[in-house]
Amino acid sequence: MSGIQYAGEYVLKEATLITSAGVTFDLKGLILSFNIYENIFSTSLSGSFSFVDTDNIITNGPIVGQEYLYLKVGTPGLDELDFDFTNVPFVTYKVNVREDANKNTQLIQVSFTSPEIIKNTRVRVSKSYTESIDQIVTNILRDERYVNTLKPLHIEPTAGIRKVISPNLHPYNFITNLATEAVSAKDGNPFFLFYESTRGINFRSIESLFSEETKGDYSLGDFGNNKGKQPDVEKELGRIVSFQIAANNDMLSNIVSGMLGSSIIEYNIYDKSFNKSTYNYIEDFGKFPRINYSDDFYDNPVYSESFIDDKSNTIGSFTDARIHLHSVSSGANFDTHHTNPTSAYEYAPNQIKNSLLHRQAKFNEMTDGVTIKMEINGSTNISVGQTINVTIPVTGTEHDGKYDKYYTGKYLITKLRHNFDVPLKRHEITLSASKDSFSQSIPIGNNIPEGKSDLTNIIKY
């Protein structure tokens, strides 16, 4: 990476604030810090900036939370990956802090977000669509009556032609609903996300994110003392500054949420029939590719496949732990709600029985399963939705191998905060990353309790 002198270096290329009165302020020499927050479960970017006001610009603007922020920041040597919000600026929406630092100085903190989410909250979609879901999403995002975004769109093709109606919903609410019904045209997976990153707006499946190449290799450990030597920037960029395992399989929560076992009873109002579908974490684990999947690699469950009782049940055998009831109107392969005069029953039916349970389990795996939090030196080539390799050393010395065989491996970045400290000229990233499998299997054993209850020991009151 040519041009960069130290890990975390950045260049603030533009920071311009334009008020509702049309007054322009160049904040480059005033900003103390700013941050940008990304989340694959959020439909927009958000952030805040703090600056020193020595000339009463908070009043002269005035700055009231109704401004546009033109921002451009980059990592030296990665100009093509700048965070560039000069074509579509952020919108400020709140003045968080206005604090007197001394007699002639104020500290101001302002929150900002994407303009699309502001537009979204002001308009509603009341319209019917007859297209594939990915085409519907694209139309709504580009339609000048609704979101009207100019940002890059990363839309994954979906299967089937659907006839759907938006009953006066906000555009993003409608798209979020569509994500729960979307199925990938490539492999049939139902794990679609609708989110915004620093690279654009995304309507993609988790599987498509898993399939992309990793964007970085990060290690936890001692990198030695470089005092008096030229710092190894590449090595420092791959160093984990701080680390913790944030979530590690809460079994009780995962039972209640349906991650380990669930079922759906589908009532078809067309032919008056009932159909029950089930999800078993152990038996259905390999139905869709997971984060480590490749031609020469096999993923393993993050729970043991051992029997948990003397009836040969595993943790996934109890599919009635969570039950859903859903009504549909469909024939063998068509939606009976809608017909076409020239080609009857060409619309794809609702496939919720094939998607809801797996989708529910997958999203709980990504939020309440194996999750790590870490802090790294910042770079503008990192954003949510990317995968990274994380190497975690074992504790102690008497072990087979140097690295944790379960937690070392590939992770998906789910949340990320870019923190820019202007006085220190340093960019740091705090992120959360998750995985839905282990690279090695958990040994199977017999740990069924042998104790017996005393059936005569009944205490009456």
State which of 184, 211, 238 marks the end of a domain: 211
The stretch 53-75 carries a mean pLDDT of: 93
pLDDT score, position 284: 93
Give the domain-ending residue among 362, 393, 426: 362
Q: Are residues 269 and 358 in the same domain?
A: yes
Supply the pLDDT for residue 175.
Answer: 97
Per DSSP bridges, beta strands 125-131 and 162-169 are antiparallel
Q: For residue range 27-40, what is the model confidence (pLDDT) as tens digits?
A: 999 999 999 999 99
The pLDDT of residue 173 is above 90: yes
Residue 183 sits in a domain of what CATH number? 3.55.50.20
Q: Phi/psi at 399 (nearest 5 deg)?
A: -145, 160
The two most distant CA atoms of the chain are separated, in Å, by 84
Residue range(s) defining the domain that contains residue 170:
115-211
Question: Are both 198 and 281 inside the same structural domain?
Answer: no
Q: Which of 225, 180, 234 is nearest to 203 (CA)?
A: 180
* Domain presence at residue 32: no
Per-residue model confidence as pLDDT tens digits over 378-412: 999 999 999 999 998 887 765 666 888 889 999 99
- Residue 331, pLDDT score: 65
- Both 260 and 201 in one domain: the answer is no
Within-domain flag for 391: no
Q: What is the pLDDT of residues 96-148, one digit of tens each?
A: 988 887 778 899 999 999 999 999 999 999 999 999 999 999 999 999 999 99
Are residues 158 and 256 located together in one domain of the fold? no
User: What pLDDT, on a 0 to 100 scale, did the predictor assign at position 88?
Assistant: 96
The verdict on 274 and 354 lying in the same domain is yes
Do 122 and 207 fall into the same domain? Answer: yes
- DSSP 3-state assignment of 39? strand
State pTM to two decimals. Answer: 0.90
- The structural domain count of the chain equals 2
Q: What is the pLDDT of residue 398?
A: 58
In a domain, 38, yes or no: no
Check whether residue 291 and residue 205 sit in a common domain.
Answer: no
122 and 179 inside one domain: yes
Q: What is the pLDDT of residue 239?
A: 93
Residue 345 has pLDDT above 50, yes or no: no
Residue 322 maps to a domain: yes
pLDDT for residue 313 is more than 80: yes
In the numeric block, which tokens belong to residue 170? 């906000």
Q: Is the pLDDT of residue 3 over 90?
A: no
For residues 297 and 434, is the Cβ–Cβ distance under 8 A? no
- Amino acid 403: pLDDT: 86
Are 273 and 176 found together in one domain? no
Long-range contacts of 267-270 (CB under 8 A, 24+ apart): 267/325, 267/326, 267/327, 267/328, 268/327, 268/328, 268/329, 268/330, 269/327, 269/328, 269/329, 270/328, 270/329, 270/330, 270/331, 270/336
In angstroms, the CA 49 to CA 422 distance is 11
pLDDT of residue 400: 64
**How much is the pLDDT for 401?**
66
Please check whether residues 262 and 187 belong to one and the same domain: no
Q: Does residue 139 form part of some domain?
A: yes
**Is 383 among the domain residues?**
no
- Say what percent of the chain tops pLDDT 70: 89
Please write the tens of the pLDDT for every residue from 206-237.
Answer: 999 999 999 999 998 655 555 556 678 888 99
pLDDT band at 184 (very low <50, low <70, confident <90, very high): very high
Sheet holding 323-328, edge to edge: 273-280, 261-268, 323-328
Is 76 contained in some domain? Answer: no
Are 160 and 132 spatial neighbours (Cβ–Cβ below 8 Å)?
yes
Over 60: is that where the pLDDT of 150 sits? yes
Indicate the average pLDDT of the chain: 88
Instruction: Give the model's pLDDT for residue 160.
Output: 86
Q: What is the pLDDT of residue 196?
A: 97
How many other CB atoms sit within 10 Å of the CB of residue 369?
22
In a domain, 312, yes or no: yes
Residue matched to tokens 């080609």: 343
Same domain assignment for residues 270 and 348: yes
Share of the chain above pLDDT 90, in %: 65
Q: Are residues 202 and 280 in the same domain?
A: no
Predicted pLDDT of residue 296: 62
> For residue 65, what are the β-bridge partners?
none
